[in-house]
């Protein structure tokens, strides 16, 4: 029942298609390893090398690893807390503390200036192949790898594996695949007793553990940069990640959650006040970096220093951090500088556009989060009713709605092109020494060419007892022979004696093992078995039919209600499908059960162009996830608690392109709609050329796919008329 597409290694070096569950790229790697269930805070000297005593005076900038003196022949006992001079390989005297949820972390014994090299850690590189074979998955290493060149994983020795994650890291890391090391450098001044943290991934939905907060959120600017930094993992050259040095915040001790909450509220208001001038006109101001000056323009990042928090139970050490129970509520002495910003007037606040997440407009300004959360009623469906027979002997199933699945371009292309062939340039040679260079050239040439993803890059064949190696270069249509030869020669003189040849290969991947055998006879291709998804609702189990029918009925009546209120009559209802219909497929992310929201279009009443029914609904779900009981439900898997992950959306009309993209980004699982759009619809992949649908729900070039189902059954004329909307309206 699911449009899942296998991930397969391919020419582009990426996954050819991405299953709905396979959207997470992880900057460090893989599934959760069990969390360190250590007792409250324990101090541990850094194994063999640690000093529990801070070095005197100013912390020196450390030379690179190669210039360190040799370590002493005999290291101290692991558990020793005895005071001694810093070990030459740990001259900063960094020490470890164990936290109940984060496990071990690295702490500063005294102030460390920004830009200090903490350590250059040697790395053990595990190749992509070894990693993908799953050899590390069941080991603790699964949580300790750094993304490395060519899809490999780097296991950092020394302190490298002990830095915990923070979205506002105070340490940046620079990977060098040339020296197989990672340098850790402070990105800002680190206070005595503060934990040294790196940012594993700017996108926290990619973290595989439940984050315990070390610092609060970072600005969008730094987030963007940090993301690109993390993603640049395969760069051959040293990557530079000093993105956070430019943000210099006064440190702030916040001692309880209330204070933090109040502070966030305050800052939100301040931000709002600055967004408009005295005439109420919105001013667009670029948020400048601080350049190390006294205050920060952007209000978002707040640096929570742990230096003042202490724990009486902790072992002796330069500084420790506390359990929540031992926190004091001492007011903060040094705080983020906000005095430069005037307090906004209430008028300013109320003139801001209301948030999206409530369909109850009156409630939109309330500070009470619960008041704007609208967990709507569950669908009314009764499986047994549908399995019974009516008094007149007719099966009730006949009354069911019917649905047709809207195929996306990815599926269409495959269907149309199953036996197709195409011509490509290849390199052919016998000398195995040429393979590496030829492969590198091939990767360079085809890195972004989607049309060759299904081809394995190398084809080895035995001919007359000799192995012939053929390597994919490009589509014949991309280059003429002269151009290709000159690009190749300038890439490497090693290849200059070879001449590219034309070869005919399958133009699509294999869908079955039978096809794989036939196609690979010409050239090895990937197998990407599409699960069989029915194209209509005829084979659905009765329960699913009843459930989907009631979802459709719900949106039709919500649409009529919206019309009565003078709105554009488009309505949605979002929910999780009952667990007995959950697909058995591998990688299926179970949805958050009990999460339900409905919404209608409010562009008319709010006089706001973005109040589309779908966007309103996505916002409502996002909001519900921030309040109880959903905040108490741990995600079933990494990403399971993200927006519409694995949820079902019913909607009266085919969503517009913008809403279709919003649904895609929200990771919805399936969408059922009634009225197709002739213009501007995001789904219908233009089968009869009369519609403009882009098939956004199932495109090969987008990283998530979902099923789109169109209602094809009867609908009463009155409802149809009432719910009619302008043909070119974006919905």
Ligand X SMILES: C[S@@+](CC[C@H](N)C(=O)[O-])C[C@H]1O[C@@H](n2cnc3c(N)ncnc32)[C@H](O)[C@@H]1O
Question: Which residues of the chain form contacts with ligand X (CB under 6 A)?
Answer: 33, 35-36, 101-105, 143-144, 161-162, 164-166, 209, 211-212, 214
Q: Which residue, 102 or 637, is less far from ligand X as judged by CB?
A: 102
Closest separation in Å from C-beta 175 to ligand X: 15
Min separation Cβ 140 and ligand X, Å: 8
DSSP 197-209: EE-S-SSGGG-SS
Residue 282 to residues 98, 288, 338, 351: CA-CA distances in angstroms? 48, 18, 21, 11
Shortest approach of ligand X to residue 30 CB, angstroms? Answer: 9
**CB nearer ligand X, residue 165 or residue 563:** 165
Give CA separation, 568 vs 65, 553, 599, in Å.
66, 18, 12
Cβ nearer to ligand X, comparing 200 with 400: 200
Minimum Å gap between C-beta 113 and ligand X is 24
C-alpha atoms less than 13 angstroms from C-alpha of 727 in its C-beta half-sphere: 5
We find the least distance from the C-beta atom of residue 36 to ligand X, in angstroms, to be: 5
Mind spelling out the 3-state secondary structure of 111-161? CECCCCEEEEEEEEEECHHHHHCCCCCCCHHHHCEEECHHHCEEEECHHHH
Give the residues across from 164 on adjacent strands.
197
Nearer of residues 204 and 440 to ligand X, judged by Cβ: 204
Residue 161 or 686 having the CB closest to ligand X: 161
Residue 452 CA, distance from chain mean position: 26
Which CB sits closer to ligand X, 214 or 472? 214
| SS3 per-residue string spanning 549-590 | HHHHHHHHHHHHHHHHCCCCCCEEEEECCCHHHCCCCCCCCC
Q: How far is the CB of 99 from ligand X (least distance, A)?
A: 7
Query: Would you say 165 or 603 has its CB closer to ligand X?
Result: 165
For the bound state, the minimum distance from the C-beta of residue 103 to ligand X, rounded and expressed in Å, comes to 3
Nearer to ligand X, 175 or 470 (CB): 175
- State both tokens at 313: 């139970």
> Between 165 and 206, whose beta carbon lies closer to ligand X?
165
Give me the count of residues in the chain. Answer: 731
Residue 136 CB, nearest distance to ligand X (Å)? 13
CB of 104 to ligand X, least distance (A): 3
Smallest distance, Å, CB 463 to ligand X? 49
Question: What does the alpha-carbon distance between residue 620 and residue 357 come to, in Å, rounded to a whole number?
Answer: 4
The answer to whether 719 and 680 have CB atoms below 8 angstroms apart is no
Shortest distance, position 217 Cβ to ligand X, whole Å: 13
The answer to whether 652 and 729 have CB atoms below 8 angstroms apart is no
CA distance 107 to 82: 17
Which C-beta is closer to ligand X: that of 154 or that of 693?
154
Q: How far is CA 616 from CA 7, 110, 359, 640, in A?
A: 33, 50, 7, 21
Which CB sits closer to ligand X, 173 or 706?
173
Tell the smallest beta-carbon distance from residue 668 to ligand X (Å): 29
Strands 145-147 and 103-107, sheet pairing:
unpaired
For ligand X, which is the closer residue by CB, 34 or 291?
34
Of the candidates 18, 20, 16, which has an alpha carbon nearest to the alpha carbon of residue 637? 20
Contact between 414 and 508 (Cβ < 8 Å): yes
- Give whole-number Cα distances, 37 to 33, 102, 103, 635, in Å: 12, 9, 7, 19
Neighbours of 96 (CB within 10 A): 19
| Strand residue runs (E) in 318-369 | none
CB-based burial label for 502 (10 Å; 0-12, 13-18, 19+):
exposed
What is the nearest approach in angstroms of ligand X to the Cβ of residue 10? 30
Q: Which is nearer to ligand X, 104 or 710 (CB)?
A: 104
Q: What are phi and psi of 504, to 5 degrees?
A: -100, 130
* Closer by beta carbon to ligand X, 212 or else 520: 212
Tokens linked to 201? 């991934």
Query: What is the Cα 517 distance to its own chain's centre?
Result: 36
Could you tell me which residues come within 8 angstroms of residue 18 by beta carbon, excluding any fewer than 6 positions away? 5, 7, 703, 704, 705
Nearer to ligand X, 101 or 176 (CB): 101
Distance CA 218, CA 163 (A): 18
H runs (alpha helix) in 406-541: 409-416, 435-446, 481-491, 513-522
In the complex, minimum distance from the CB of residue 207 to ligand X, in angstroms, rounded to a whole number: 8
Residue nearest to ligand X (CB): 103
HSE (side-chain half, CA atoms, 13 Å) at 380: 5
Three-state DSSP state, 302: coil
CB of 162 to ligand X, least distance (A): 5
């Amino acid at each position: 029942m699911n449009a899942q597409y296998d991930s397969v290694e391919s020419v582009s070096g990426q996954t050819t298609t991405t299953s709905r569950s396979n959207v997470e790229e992880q900057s460090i790697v893989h599934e959760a390893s069990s969390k360190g269930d250590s007792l409250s805070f324990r101090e541990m000297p850094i194994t063999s090398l640690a000093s529990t005593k801070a070095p005197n005076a100013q912390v020196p900038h450390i030379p690179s690893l190669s210039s360190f003196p040799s370590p002493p022949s005999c290291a101290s006992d692991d558990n020793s807390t005895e005071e001694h001079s810093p070990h030459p390989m740990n001259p900063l005297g960094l020490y470890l503390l164990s936290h109940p949820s984060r496990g071990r972390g690295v702490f500063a014994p005294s102030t460390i200036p920004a830009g200090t090299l903490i350590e250059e850690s040697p790395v053990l590189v595990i190749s992509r192949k070894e990693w993908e074979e799953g050899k590390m998955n069941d080991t603790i290493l699964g949580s300790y790898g750094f993304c490395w060149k060519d899809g490999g994983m780097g296991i950092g020795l020394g302190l490298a594996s002990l830095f915990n994650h923070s979205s506002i890291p105070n340490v940046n890391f620079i990977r060098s695949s040339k020296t197989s090391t990672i340098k850790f450098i402070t990105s800002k001044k680190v206070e005595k007793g503060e934990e040294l943290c790196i940012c594993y991934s700017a996108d926290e939905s990619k973290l595989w553990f439940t984050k315990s907060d070390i610092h609060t959120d970072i600005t969008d600017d730094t987030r963007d940069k940090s993301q690109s930094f993390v993603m640049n993992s395969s760069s051959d050259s040293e990557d530079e990640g000093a993105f956070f040095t430019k943000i210099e915040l006064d440190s702030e001790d916040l001692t309880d959650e209330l204070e933090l909450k109040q502070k966030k509220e305050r800052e939100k208001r301040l931000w709002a006040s600055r967004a408009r001038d005295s005439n109420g006109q919105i001013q667009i101001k670029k948020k400048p970096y601080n350049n190390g000056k006294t205050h920060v323009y952007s209000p978002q990042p707040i640096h929570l220093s742990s230096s003042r928090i202490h724990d009486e139970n902790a072992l002796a050490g330069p500084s420790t951090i506390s359990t929540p129970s031992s926190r004091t509520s001492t007011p903060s002495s040094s705080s983020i500088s906000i005095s430069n910003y005037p307090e906004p007037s209430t008028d300013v606040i109320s003139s801001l556009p209301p948030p999206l997440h409530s369909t109850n407009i009156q409630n939109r300004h309330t500070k009470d989060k619960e008041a704007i959360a609208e967990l709507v009623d569950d669908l009314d469906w009764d499986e047994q009713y549908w399995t019974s027979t009516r008094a007149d002997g007719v099966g009730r199933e006949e009354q069911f709605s019917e649905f047709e699945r809207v195929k996306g371009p990815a599926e269409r292309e495959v269907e149309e092109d199953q036996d197709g062939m195409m011509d490509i340039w290849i390199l052919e040679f016998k000398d195995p020494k040429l393979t590496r260079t030829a492969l590198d050239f091939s990767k360079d040439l085809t890195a972004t060419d989607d049309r060759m993803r299904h081809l394995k890059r190398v084809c080895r064949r035995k001919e007359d007892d000799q192995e012939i190696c053929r390597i994919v270069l490009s589509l014949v249509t991309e280059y003429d022979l002269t151009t290709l030869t000159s690009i190749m020669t300038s890439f490497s003189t090693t290849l200059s004696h070879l001449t590219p040849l034309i070869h005919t290969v399958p133009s699509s991947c294999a869908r079955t093992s039978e096809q794989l055998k036939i196609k690979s006879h010409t050239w090895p291709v990937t197998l990407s078995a599409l699960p069989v998804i029915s194209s209509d609702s005829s084979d659905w189990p009765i329960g699913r039919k009843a459930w989907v029918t009631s979802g459709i009925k719900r949106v039709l009546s919500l649409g009529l209600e919206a019309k009565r209120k003078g709105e554009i009559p488009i309505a949605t209802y979002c929910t999780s499908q009952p667990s007995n219909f959950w697909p058995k497929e591998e990688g299926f992310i179970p949805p958050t059960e009990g999460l339900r929201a409905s919404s209608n279009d409010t562009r008319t009443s709010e006089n706001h162009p973005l109040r589309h029914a779908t966007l309103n609904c996505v916002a409502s779900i996002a909001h519900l996830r921030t309040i109880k009981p959903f905040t108490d439900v741990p995600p079933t898997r990494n990403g399971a608690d993200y927006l519409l992950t694995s949820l079902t959306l019913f909607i009266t009309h085919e969503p517009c392109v913008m809403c279709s993209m919003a649904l895609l980004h929200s990771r919805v699982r399936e969408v059922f709609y009634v009225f197709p759009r002739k213009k501007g619809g995001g789904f219908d992949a233009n089968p009869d050329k009369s519609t403009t649908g882009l098939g956004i729900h199932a495109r090969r070039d987008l990283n998530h796919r979902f099923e789109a189902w169109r209602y094809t059954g009867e609908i009463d004329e009155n409802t149809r008329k009432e719910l009619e909307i302008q043909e070119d309206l974006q919905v």
